[in-house]
Chains A and B, each alone.
Chain A
Amino acid sequence: MEIAQILTIASKEFWDRIRNRWVLAVALVFTAFALVIAYFGAAQQGSVGFRSIDVTIASLVSLVIYLVPLIALVLGFDAIVGERERGSLDLLLSMPITRLELLLGKYFGLAAALAFSTIAGFGLVAIVLSTQLDLAALFHYAGFMLSSVLLGCAFLSLAVMLSVFAADRTRASGLAIATWFLFVLVFDLLLLGALVVTGGQWGGELLPYLLLANPADVFRILNIFSLDDVRTLYGLATVFPPALADPWLLGLVMLAWIVVPLGIASWRFRK
């Protein structure tokens, strides 16, 4: 494997997103949403203004769970199929580069663009709020940003995998939307449905572990269980196995959600 080839492709992808202002646009969306949530998130309770970082993060988590997977899927769904459909893939592959290097280059370039806009977008909010935050709060917020990046990377990995499997861009975009629906909207409902249908008799202990089969849920657990206030607030601590609240374990699961789809993509792309 030649790192230089990966870097060449990655830097092209990254600078493409900088130049067409994709990074700027996404960063601004994140900043705008985060500011609104930080100041008006508690409006339903009748107060306006920044309250606590924990509550702000809890609200941001709900937003990020919808938004980041969508952005990552849109960013990555045509990574390979787009090149193939446009007809530029043959030329790229005729270079002294392996398919794995090309795939990783694409992934890292797009992941860098996504990470950059996530950190810039939410980071700007941290700077605005910095006067009202202590060190511990900043630490929590940094954890939230890092896990958002990981969430984006996981869905980007899924998107790149789809882009290898799909026959054309149209199908790839369909698959991307289906993936978003499945993980962000349907998955939890299915689990909940299963729980209700079986009356909690069956699989009640297994259920929390099934949440690990969804990167969006891993992200939710990672953020909510790292915040003591929120944990008690949601009354979740009692139903949740403490082993799963280990942020390192959850981080590892998230990493697996990045590595495994990429591995499958690479296997398929070589065929």
Chain B
Amino acid sequence: MVLSPLTPNDAGAPLIVAQGVRKHYGSIRAVDGVDLEIRPGELFGLIGHNGAGKSTLFKMMLGLIPATSGEIRIGGAPVTGRGFRAVRRTVGYLPENVVLYDNLTGIETLWLFARLKGVALAEAGPTLERVGLAHAAKRRVREYSKGMRQRLGFAQALLGKPRILFLDEPTTGLDPEAIRSFYATLRQLRSEGVTTVITSHILAEIQERVDRIAIMAGGRIQASGTVQDLRDEVDLPLWVSVRVSKEDFETVRASLSHLQVEAIEAHDDLVRVRCRREAKMAVIEALARLGGRIRDLSLREPSLEDVFFGFSD
């Protein structure tokens, strides 16, 4: 497993530390030796297939289920045992497919969780407003759409101004507009110093939005770092595409013949060149030398999805 190095100027001690964490159910190894450090103020993404162990790891980080072995600390304190209440009060959690109480209204739902968290009830109104549900405060959750429930679940997690947010697939059921405003809220929270750990299976959605990610598969963390770190590490080929007229196709091929190119595909007037990262600049230069013969040049870096499959396959 790979951990990106923590340099001394990385804002002090990590806030969340997992060391050698395992969770075994009989012969099933849901989580099988996870080491993880998440720094204060970081927006951290945890990605993986269904059944990769993300939710189990989440539940252990929250102290909902005990680890078979290993230890998890938040702010230096263990998440289970006597001090658990103090830790819980600093944490907001949005479970995957959050289920709330249908018979309560939006505002009553927040009152309930505010009482349990020991938070002033007066916080409920502004929190509903923050997630854009102020208009539905007095409607029963029964009448809420999937997206509205998800936002109410997020509001519940924000009660009590937590230092840490654990959000399990938070954008499920949200429309693109709501997803955008959700991430805007997360960015704002980050500027306030809140640390967020988020899981998602929509990789494209989080790749531009998180500071670092960890890829989980088979109960282990296969890789972690910034998206660029991971791209470098997995060394996937990238695609350079140009548009040329059909008669110039051979010219393009010839101009690249001396370079380390993995594949050249032509489709109508589009030529796609697959090459390794180290050949990228040489390929672009060679194509640029063709001058007026090429129209339009574009570059596609491997997406987080490509990286993900690179690690989890």
Q: Which B residues lie within 8 Å of A96 (CB)?
A: 84-85, 88-89, 116-118
- In the complex, chain A residues whose CB is within 8 Å of the CB of B93: 91, 94
A95 touches B116 (CB 8 A): yes
**A19 touching B103, Cβ below 8 Å:** yes
Docked-complex contact B64 and A94, CB < 8 angstroms: yes
Cβ of B98 and Cβ of A91 under 8 Å apart? yes
Check if B116 sits within 8 Å of A93, measured CB to CB. no
B153 CB to closest chain A CB (Å) equals 8
Whether B101 and A88, one on each chain, are in contact in the complex, defined by CB atoms closer than 8 angstroms, is yes
Contact, CB under 8 Å: B103 / A16? yes
Nearest residue (CB) in B for A19 is B103
In the assembly, what is the distance between CA of A96 and CA of B86, in Å? 8
Question: Is A91 in contact with B95, judged by CB distance below 8 angstroms?
Answer: yes
Known: A5-B116, A12-B112. A94 touches B62 (CB 8 A): yes
B312 contacts chain A at the CB level, 8 A cutoff: no
A6-23: CB near B (< 8 Å → 1, else 0) gives: 001100100010011000
A86 contacts across to B, CB distance below 8 A: 99
Residue numbers in A under 8 Å from B85 (CB-CB): 2, 96
Quick check: B115 and A8 within 8 Å, CB to CB? yes
Considering residues A2, A8, A92, which has the most beta carbons from chain B within 10 angstroms of its beta carbon?
Answer: A8
- The distance from the CB of A253 to the nearest CB of chain B, in whole angstroms, is 35
Q: Which B residues, 39 to 97, have Cβ-Cβ distances below 8 Å to chain A?
A: 59, 62, 64, 84-85, 88-89, 91, 93, 95, 97
A97 in the interface (beta carbon within 8 A): yes
User: B224 contacts the other chain (Cβ, under 8 Å)?
Assistant: no
Within 8 A of A (CB), among B257-313: none
- A-contacting residues, B143-172, CB 8 Å: 153, 156
Query: Quick check: is A134 within 8 A (CB to CB) of the other chain?
Result: no
Instruction: Output the least CB separation between B255 and chain A (Å).
Output: 59
B102 closest partner in A (C-beta): A86
- B88, A94: Cβ atoms closer than 8 Å: yes
Q: In the bound complex, what is the Cα–Cα distance between A132 and B88 (angstroms)?
A: 58
Q: Are A87 and B112 in contact (CB under 8 A)?
A: no
**How far apart sit A157 and B118, CA to CA, in the bound complex (Å)?**
28
| B100 interfacial by beta-carbon distance below 8 Å | yes
Q: Which residues of B contact A94 (CB under 8 A)?
A: 62, 64, 88, 91, 93, 95
Which residues of A have CB within 8 Å of B84? 96
Determine if A90 is an interface residue (Cβ-Cβ < 8 Å). yes
Distance of A126 Cα from B141 Cα, bound (Å) = 40
B183 within 8 Å of A (CB atoms) = no
B residues less than 8 Å from A91 (CB atoms): 93, 95, 98-100, 153, 156
| Chain A to chain B: the 4 pairs with minimum beta-carbon distance, closest first | A87-B99, A96-B88, A95-B116, A96-B85
Sample 18 A-B pairs with CB under 8 A, ordered by A number. Answer: A4-B118, A8-B112, A8-B115, A8-B116, A16-B103, A20-B103, A86-B99, A87-B98, A87-B99, A88-B99, A91-B93, A91-B153, A92-B116, A94-B88, A96-B84, A96-B85, A96-B88, A97-B116
What is the interface of chain B, defined by CB distance below 8 A to chain A?
59, 62, 64, 84-85, 88-89, 91, 93, 95, 97-101, 103, 112-113, 115-118, 153, 156
Q: A8-B112, A16-B103, A90-B95 are in contact. List 15 more A-B contacts (CB 8 A).
A: A2-B85, A5-B116, A8-B116, A90-B59, A91-B93, A91-B95, A91-B98, A91-B99, A91-B100, A91-B153, A92-B116, A94-B91, A94-B93, A95-B116, A96-B116
